[in-house]
Structure 1
Amino acid sequence: MTELWNWRIDGAAPVEVYPALAEALGRVVMPLAVADPARLPTYAVICDVWEAPGEFGTIVDCYGVPESLPELSAVAALARLLDRDCLLADDTLDAGRHLLVAPDGTIRPVHFEVTETDDGEVLSARRLCTLAHPGCRGWSRCCRSRWEPDSVNPALAAA
């Protein structure tokens, strides 16, 4: 079985992302636009990288990622290689809550305002997920997450 990963990067050009992804994943990375499924190298991962408006506007989709590759370690390695913050979805199913992965390998939950546009979701107004904010207290989805408000965690042997 294979997985689909979706990440966002703070200001990296797509041309920088593909080689860094290959290094972070330890796999051949084929851009979606030129990938021919009949001619893919063994262990290749197909990726699409594009730019959108708003914060963390570089979007990365990786298709067909083997389950044996740990996502947190891979995104932390990418953040380190690009020296850029990266985002991935958290476990709350809240469209505005993400995990911020810093180049030093730390992971912390954050919130964004999400606006739907013709170009997709636009993120803005970043804030930390903290018990000091009323939306993150008590019975909120944040408190039921593996990534609790105010938490700062290492990226499991990633950096």
Structure 2
Amino acid sequence: MSHCHCGSGRQFDCCCQPLQLGKAVAASPEQLMRSRYSAFVEGAAAYLLDTHDPDTRDDVTEAVLARSCEESRFVGLQIVDAPPPKGEQGEVEFRAWYRQGEDILALWERSQFRRLEGRWFYSRGEIRPAVKLGRNDPCPCGSGKKAKRCCL
């Protein structure tokens, strides 16, 4: 058994995997965000498409998402803000840390979520300025080590 990629500290098979397999649905925008991050790491493009709001999919396809999963080298997720949902709307601000060459950078986004028929869906996101991890910063993988002694 392995720890879940989402950083919850729980085992993958008790955390994000049941959502990805359709055995459970996300109870909150944050839980959906975490499961979608894990889906990018796992390459679960069908789940990513299934949890994307049908009204905002535009040109998003399973093939596009699969390519994005293959190109991503995520190393950690940091939830910056996840206020309680307001009715059928929710949002989560996060940093998804990834490797690019010798650097670790963060995709920093404030995501919007919508609940339809009892299920949460990712609607859209506002990208914030990129963040570069410093060598002496804590590693985003959750090891507790400095980045220079871990993933850098």
Q: Which has the larger radius of gyration?
A: 1
- Structure showing the higher strand proportion among its residues: 1
Select the structure with the greater relative contact order (CA < 8 A; seq sep ≥ 6): 1
TM-score normalized with structure 1 length: 0.33
TM-score normalized with structure 2 length: 0.34
- Structure showing the higher helix proportion among its residues: 2
